[in-house]
Amino acid sequence: MLAILDTHLLAATTRHGLRGWQRFLLEFLYFGIKNARACLFVALFFASVLLAPRAGLFGLPRYDVLLLAAIAIQVWMLWARLETWDELKAVCLFHLVGFALEAFKVSGSIQSWSYPDFAYTKLFGVPLFSGFMYAAVGSYVIQAWRLFDLRIRHHPPYWMAVTIALLIYANFFTHHYIGDFRWYLAACALGLYARTTVVFRPLDRDRQMPLLLSFVLIGFFIWLAENISTFWGVWRYPNQLGAWSAVHVSKWSSWSLLVVMTFTIVAHLKHIKARIDVPD
C-alpha cells in the first residue's frame, strides 16, 4: 500500500487545468501528505513512546520495549523497501551520534537531563532506544529529500558546511566548560546559508523556500515533540523532577542547530553532491 502511495506521490504528471485557489489547496494537501509520509518512522516511534505503559509490557521495562519497537519499525521499513540500505546506514550514524551526546549529557558531572526508569538496555545511564530519537530526525530528512525531489541552490562550499556542522556538535559538549557559543554558531550558519534555497515539488511544479526557514520549522516541531515526551515522563530535565513544566524555548534553537548538522550528514551520505549547486 505504501509503495503504491510512494509511486503516486513521486509521479510528476503535469496538471494543466489547475489554477488559482484550487491549485493552492491541492498543492497544500500534497505538501501535507508528503510530509506525513516522510514522518513514517517518526510517527510510529512516537506512537510507541505514547502507548508504551510506564510499567512496561510482558515483564520488559518501558525503555526496553521502546528499543524493540524502534528496531522492529526499522526492520519492517527495510523489508518493505520503504528505506534503502544506504538510508539505514545514515540512520545508524544518527543513532551513534545521538547516543554519544546522550551519554555525555546524563553523566554524573553534567546531568542535563535523566532517564529515571530502570532498563536492561541502559548503557552509561542512557537507554539504547534514545539514539533512535535522533535517528528519527535523520529519517525524516532522508525521506523528505526523496519524496519532494529536493534540490539545493547556492549551497555553501562543502568544507564550510562540514566545519559549521562539526562546531555545532562540539558546542553541545564544550559549552559546559568554555561557554555556550550557540548564538555565534547560529550567526555563522545564518551567513553561510543566507542565499541558500531549497527547491521542492509538492505536486507537479517546483516551489522554493529559504533553507534556513526549513531548519527553524523542523526544529520547532522537534521542540513540540520534546515537550510531549517529557510530559509522558520518558526523560526529565532537572526542573521537571518535582512537577512537569514546558521545555524552555531556548531548546528550539538547539534543535534547529542540530537540524543543520543532520542536513549536512544526509547531504553527504546520500551521495547527492551532483544535485547541489555549489558556486565557484
Q: What is the pTM of this model?
A: 0.83
Distance from the Cα of residue 137 to its chain's centroid: 1
Q: How far apart are CA 230 and CA 189, in angstroms?
A: 29
What pLDDT is attached to residue 280?
46
What CA–CA distance (Å, rounded) separates 219 from 30? 22
**What pLDDT digit, counting tens, does each position of 111-146 carry?**
787 888 888 999 888 899 888 888 888 888 888 888
Percent of the chain with pLDDT over 70: 90
Q: Which helix (H) or strand (E) holds 151?
A: strand 151-153
Q: What is the dihedral of CA 169, 36, 61, 80, to 10 degrees?
A: -100
Position 71 pLDDT exceeds 90: yes
| Widest Cα–Cα separation across the chain | 63
Instruction: Please give the pLDDT value at position 180.
Output: 85
